[in-house]
Amino acid sequence: MDIIFINELRATTLIGIYPREQAMPQTVEISLQIGTSTASAGASDDIGDTIDYARVVDRLRGELAARHFNLLERLAEYVATLLLEDFGATWVRVSIAKLGMMRGVARVGVVIERGAAA
């Protein structure tokens, strides 16, 4: 399996359980490892034969800007499902972090791995 990666993508979404978090969008940092075969694209040199990371970034920014999530865990599941179902990934590792949420802590977050249904 090959891996397409996107590191430290910044996106804005409503995330959190506290009233102030539900009222004001926050920036989250997302890193992705997307498992897929890149052999066809390597042979053809055609973006249509692989997962287009620019489309992934645009889609995630649009989707997250329009949604609210209570928990990072739910947001991570949403991102994983989108990559598996809409982009045809066979496996994903999704890392999502809130930035500067706690004094003296740069990031808090979650990392999940999911595979496509067999």
Q: Are 1 and 36 in contact (CB under 8 A)?
A: yes
Identify which of 42, 80, 41, 45 has the alpha carbon closest to the alpha carbon of residue 63: 80
Identify which of 72, 85, 86, 70 has the alpha carbon closest to the alpha carbon of residue 115: 85
Residues annotated as catalytic (active site), given as ranges: 98
